[in-house]
A and B are shown apart, each in its own frame.
Chain A
Amino acid sequence: MSADAVIIRLPARGPGPQVPASFVNPRTDPAWVRWGLTGFAVLVVGVLVGIPVVNIFYEALKEGVRVYWDNLVADPDTRHSIFLTATVVPLALVANIVFGIAAAWAIARFKFPGRTLLTALIDLPFSVSPVVAGLMFVLIFGLQGYLGPFLREDGYSVMPYATSLVGVFVLVVLYFVFRPANPAARRGVWRGPTWLVVPAASVVLFALSVVVQKRLGVWPQGESLKIIFATPGLVLATAFVTFPFVARELIPIMEAVGAEEELAAINLGANGWQMFWHITAPNIKWGLVYGIILCNARAIGEFGAVYVVSGHIAGQTDTMPLRIEKLFQEYNLPGCFAVASVLTLLAILTLVAKARLERKIPSAVHEATGEGGS
């Protein structure tokens, strides 16, 4: 600011013949324009953001900390909504971290048909309205949906198959991750032709797992498996809406870092597992944390999609944003503002964390391009 001031005052003060009196530095505007624009911006931010945020805390704490605390924990429905949000959000986060890393890896490291389509599809949850996203799940899993009647009648009958399928898939992935790449070094389970061992073992394990689960009666029989108007639906909807954050954050970082360090690790004798934990993970660490923070903030505040799939049953499927809306409808303003203040506090913490991380990430990408200061 002071530097600017010096620049504009110069021509007025120095009456040198070569500087005409009407000279205006082309890089600075007159004072009234600068102050006017700055003032307008401050005014807009103040009215739209500053005052309402401060007001939330004011309203919540108006009647003292004790009342505030009672508003938060005395009401069992409010308590449950906090508990539900604390359950749904981590589950959705874990799903999106696993998916985000896998998708970013596939897109940044490989060229395959459908790569562009996958990149576009990752962005879909951003462009589709959350309400539509919620409706989508209702139309599949809801009572009138495709799977509704079956899930209602004997929904748990799919669980042995579903869990076995996931289990076998994880085992197959682990098999390939830990298998010695050199055929000569393979012992025990890794001996024998892959095309025979893997499918045969998969079928046997799958069948065994299904039979054991059915025999032991792990899952209830003849009961309806509720997805819509229940926690699974909330997790699905939240995960869908926050789906792009991690992948979107990682793809440019992984592309900037490049594959060479990973190839160097392999060349030096690292296996895939070691390469990921020693080289890839440290390189994408801050981007991943950044993505998780954004994803977390969005997941906590998600309203639209969750509204549709939850059926907002108080004490059962109300998450914090839904609870706020309900308290507001019931004219319970102190309770409403108390819950809202918790969400706002989380948002502010997110902003602080985000601002701190932003300073780290560009430097990571910067070094990646080989411009690191020497």
Chain B
Amino acid sequence: MSIRIENVTKTFGKFTAVDKVNLDVPDGTLLALLGPSGSGKTTLLRIIAGLDVADSGSVIREGEDITRQSARDRKIGFVFQHYALFRHMTVEENIGYGLRVRKRPKALIKERVDELLKLIRLEALGKRYPAQLSGGQRQRVALARALAAEPKVLLLDEPFGALDAKVRQELRVWLRKLHQEIHVTSVFVTHDQEEAFEVADRVVVMNQGRVEQYGTPAEVFERPANPFVMDFLGNVNVFHGRVEQGKALVAGAALAVADQHPDAPSAAVYVRPHEVVIQHEQSGNASLPAKVLHVNPAGSRVKVELRATESEQLINAELTSERFAELGLKSGDEVFVSASRVRVFAGNYVI
């Protein structure tokens, strides 16, 4: 079932949590709402589920306006950030609750619960109480409970927020696989861009209650719509310079700009760390001299911190270990820096 959000606004006192948001969630997609805390993504999710009421605007499910429907009639599953499992019920009772309140026959409930326990691979723990489970197990029970009621849409609020790194990684892969199997339209909230890109097939970047960008993970990552998105999707080097004839002039170096861009007297020039190119020789005026301050070879990529000789600006770079071995960098080396890819946002943006 598709979900459409039209002009939804929600304020808490003077604070505007969601500001005239329009959004389309096509049938069968797994969409990530990505944004910093306080960007209104959880509020938007709760409005879709009917747990919060929008001040204005409407929520439409498959052409049917459900803005005025109560949460219990919407058939939209919701997985809470802290799971909200019923602490006095066993895992089985938790999962079966949605069917129990809808007065389904006992045998059918049992069958569905067993099926879901198998799906979340907790067959042996059906008689346990939530307090006796680990975080990852609770998360899966919460998901099974939401799925048991056969929701038309599934919403997940920071599904992996409270878990440690390893469990997170496992559950991400599991959620992706689960979605491929059951194909229910899903929306999940996260502040972790890596998570959004890895799990979702559509990403919505939100900031201060507004949608900044909507697209596939590749689109959003490759073509950030504005400095906020660029900045939010991982650390980035920002240079101040100007744009002339398709080249960004930064501290004496002229860098080729990826997208067509009109001339601008003042512009913010963005280069991601992995797009920084380090060389021992100067290549014309397309590079600037810099000094290596620090090298961190731990991890899959080598992180290098440099300082531009002229402007004294700090530059972060990431190299593959092969390239790093080839260069043989150590702190104190004098090198030349250029960029394989440059993005420019001119005008009145302020970071």
Chain A residues with a Cβ under 8 A of chain B: 181-183, 185, 260-261, 263-271, 274, 278-279, 282-283, 367-368, 370, 372-374
Q: How many A-B residue pairs have CB under 8 A?
A: 83
Cβ of B146 to closest chain A Cβ, rounded Å? 8
Per a CB cutoff under 8 Å, which of A269, A282, A372 touches B102? A269
Report B-chain residues with C-beta under 8 Å of the C-beta of A265.
Answer: 86, 97, 101
Report A-chain residues with C-beta under 8 Å of the C-beta of B49.
Answer: 267
Report B-chain residues with C-beta under 8 Å of the C-beta of A282.
Answer: 88
B76 interface residue per 8 A CB criterion: yes
A–B pairs, 13, beta carbons within 8 Å? A181-B69, A181-B70, A182-B70, A182-B72, A261-B85, A261-B87, A267-B49, A267-B51, A268-B97, A270-B72, A271-B72, A271-B101, A278-B97
Report if A266-B71 is in contact (Cβ < 8 Å); known contacts: A260-B80, A278-B101, A372-B131.
Answer: yes
B301 interface residue per 8 A CB criterion: no
* Minimum CB distance partner of A182 in chain B: B73
B224 interface residue per 8 A CB criterion: no
Report B-chain residues with C-beta under 8 Å of the C-beta of A181.
Answer: 69-70, 72-73
B80/A269 in contact, CB under 8 A: no
Per a CB cutoff under 8 Å, which of B51, B69, B82, B149 touches A182? B69
Report A-chain residues with C-beta under 8 Å of the C-beta of B87.
Answer: 261, 283, 367-368, 372
A269/B149 in contact, CB under 8 A: yes
A260/B82 in contact, CB under 8 A: yes
Cβ of B69 to closest chain A Cβ, rounded Å? 6
Cβ of A287 to closest chain B Cβ, rounded Å? 13
Which of B50, B51, B87, B134 has the most chain A CB within a 10 Å cutoff? B87
Report B-chain residues with C-beta under 8 Å of the C-beta of A374.
Answer: 131-135
Report A-chain residues with C-beta under 8 Å of the C-beta of B40.
Answer: none
B239 interface residue per 8 A CB criterion: no
A266 vs B71: C-alpha distance when bound (angstroms): 6
A267/B78 in contact, CB under 8 A: yes
B149/A264 in contact, CB under 8 A: no
A181 vs B98: C-alpha distance when bound (angstroms): 16
B159 interface residue per 8 A CB criterion: no
A261/B86 in contact, CB under 8 A: yes
Report A-chain residues with C-beta under 8 Å of the C-beta of B146.
Answer: 267-268
A266 vs B49: C-alpha distance when bound (angstroms): 10
* Minimum CB distance partner of A372 in chain B: B131
Which of A266, A271, A282 has the most chain B CB within a 10 Å cutoff? A266
Q: Per-position contact with A for B132-174: 1 when CB-CB < 8 Å, else 0?
A: 1111000000000110010000000000000000000000000
B70/A261 in contact, CB under 8 A: no
Cβ of B105 to closest chain A Cβ, rounded Å? 16
Cβ of B61 to closest chain A Cβ, rounded Å? 13
B289 interface residue per 8 A CB criterion: no
Cβ of B268 to closest chain A Cβ, rounded Å? 42
Report if A269-B84 is in contact (Cβ < 8 Å); known contacts: A373-B131, A374-B133.
Answer: no
B98/A268 in contact, CB under 8 A: yes
A267 vs B146: C-alpha distance when bound (angstroms): 9
B273 interface residue per 8 A CB criterion: no
Report if A268-B82 is in contact (Cβ < 8 Å); known contacts: A367-B131, A372-B87.
Answer: no
List 14 extra interface pairs beyond A268-B146, A367-B131, CB under 8 A: A181-B69, A182-B69, A182-B73, A261-B86, A263-B51, A265-B97, A266-B71, A267-B49, A267-B71, A268-B98, A268-B145, A270-B72, A271-B72, A278-B97
A90 vs B134: C-alpha distance when bound (angstroms): 44
B227 interface residue per 8 A CB criterion: no
B51/A269 in contact, CB under 8 A: no
